[in-house]
């Protein structure tokens, strides 16, 4: 399967590393935002063609699919461009940074007949898969998810500590992970979604702190705290408070409420959530089916994000 990778930054590299472990997948073009870094990454991963033009990459002979790890503000338009070019597409989270663009992408995906998937990696991380399988089996029911998403980003830097050409967002990017995961794990659509936010950054123009509350019809709730001001342990930490146990997920580790480790190494074929996400994308293409994390499946999260944005005080 011939693939175009768009994005030469931190997450583009994560996808390139993941695809190197997946049989019968060949990256034939790398689309980047700057010539020097795109050339360097293409050479590093032995990609035969690189360009700064997505259309040029999609036009390469035999291209089947594209993965987009470009700046957030480009996601929806580029995903639609791929679909209209007749290519399957996986777009990194968030698939859009507003509801109108998410709706346009949803319509384009339905019209195209192609696999259209969004990179909601939490659906694939083995720790969250372990919980999900027990929920599906009727062994657990969520009472509350308590989630902390903490970074220290008072300057506009990416995950590699390099200057970013675009501005990240607590709500439309980082909260999107948890809003979708809460709905995925409960099997319900959010009925209550509201939030408060802290002061705006004087240069970046974004809220640096946010607190979100969610509820589904069964009564399960989710409390989400997010910060770009946290100078301490970084990342996202999940506490599942269930009717039959408490479970805490930190990165790829899972422990119970008494901090006893739970082995999740055999949950799937890899411990790498990005690799599992990419494997699902290519499997869905080969099998002609809807992937876990399709644009249609994750769309309700974006409706909830829009509701949260309108509630912000």
Domain-wise residue ranges, the chain: 2-120+274-292, 122-270+300-311
Q: How far apart are CA 268 and CA 257, in angstroms?
A: 23
The answer to whether the CB of 84 falls within 8 A of the CB of 108 is yes
Share of the chain above pLDDT 70, in %: 97
Beta bridge partners, 261, equal 255
Residue 209, classed as helix, strand or coil, is strand
pLDDT of residue 154: 82
Enumerate the H helices of 187-225 as residue ranges. Answer: none
| pLDDT one digit per residue (tens) for the chain, 313 residues | 999 999 999 999 999 999 999 999 999 999 999 999 999 999 999 999 999 999 999 999 999 999 999 999 999 999 999 999 999 999 999 999 999 999 999 999 999 999 999 999 999 999 999 999 999 999 999 999 999 999 887 877 766 677 766 667 899 999 999 999 999 999 999 999 999 999 998 888 889 999 999 999 999 999 999 999 999 999 999 999 999 999 999 988 999 999 999 999 999 999 999 999 999 999 999 999 999 999 999 999 999 999 999 998 6
Enumerate the H helices of 143-202 as residue ranges. Answer: 176-186
When the candidates are 3.90.190.10, 3.40.190.10, 3.40.50.720, 3.30.360.10, the CATH number that belongs to 122-270+300-311 is 3.30.360.10
Q: How far apart are CA 281 and CA 200, in angstroms?
A: 37
CATH number of 2-120+274-292: 3.40.50.720
122-270+300-311 and 2-120+274-292 share a CATH fold: no
Read off the tokens for 151: 């970074």
The answer to whether the CB of 78 falls within 8 A of the CB of 71 is no
- Give the HSE-up count for residue 287: Cα atoms under 13 Å, Cβ half-sphere: 10
Read off the tokens for 139: 């062994």
Q: What is the DSSP letter of 12?
A: H
**Which candidate, 131, 94, 67, places its Cα nearest to that of 280?**
67
Read off the tokens for 246: 């408490």
pLDDT of residue 148: 97
Q: What is the DSSP letter of 173?
A: I
pLDDT of residue 159: 62
| Prediction pTM value | 0.94
Contacts of 40 (CB under 8 A, 6+ apart): none
């Amino acid at each position: 399967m011939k693939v175009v990778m768009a994005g030469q930054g931190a997450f583009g590299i994560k996808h390139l590393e993941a695809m190197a472990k997946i049989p019968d997948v060949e990256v034939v073009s790398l689309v980047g935002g700057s010539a020097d870094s795109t050339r360097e990454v293409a050479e590093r991963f032995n990609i035969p063609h690189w360009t700064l033009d997505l259309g040029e990459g999609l036009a390469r002979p035999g291209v089947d699919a594209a993965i987009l790890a470009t700046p957030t503000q480009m996601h929806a338009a580029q995903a639609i461009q791929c679909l209209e070019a007749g290519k399957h597409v996986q777009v990194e989270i968030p698939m859009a940074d507003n509801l109108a663009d998410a709706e346009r992408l949803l319509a384009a995906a339905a019209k195209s007949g192609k696999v259209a998937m969004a990179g909601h990696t939490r659906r694939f991380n083995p720790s969250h898969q372990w919980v999900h399988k027990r929920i599906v089996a009727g062994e657990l029911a969520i009472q509350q998810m308590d989630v902390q998403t903490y970074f220290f980003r008072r300057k506009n830097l990416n995950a590699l500590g390099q200057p970013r050409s675009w501005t990240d967002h607590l709500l439309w990017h980082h909260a999107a992970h948890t809003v979708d995961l809460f709905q995925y794990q409960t099997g319900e659509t959010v009925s209550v979604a509201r939030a408060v936010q802290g002061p705006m950054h004087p240069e970046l123009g974004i809220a640096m702190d946010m607190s979100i509350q969610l509820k589904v019809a069964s009564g399960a709730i989710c409390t989400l705290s997010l910060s770009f001001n946290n100078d301490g342990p970084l990342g996202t930490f999940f506490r599942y408070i269930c009717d039959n146990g408490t479970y805490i997920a930190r990165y790829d580790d899972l422990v119970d409420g008494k901090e006893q480790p739970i082995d999740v190494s055999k949950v799937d074929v890899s411990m790498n959530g990005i690799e599992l996400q990419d494997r699902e994308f290519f499997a869905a293409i080969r099998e002609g089916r809807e992937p876990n994390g399709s644009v249609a499946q994750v769309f309700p999260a974006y409706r909830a994000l829009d509701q949260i944005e309108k509630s912000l005080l």
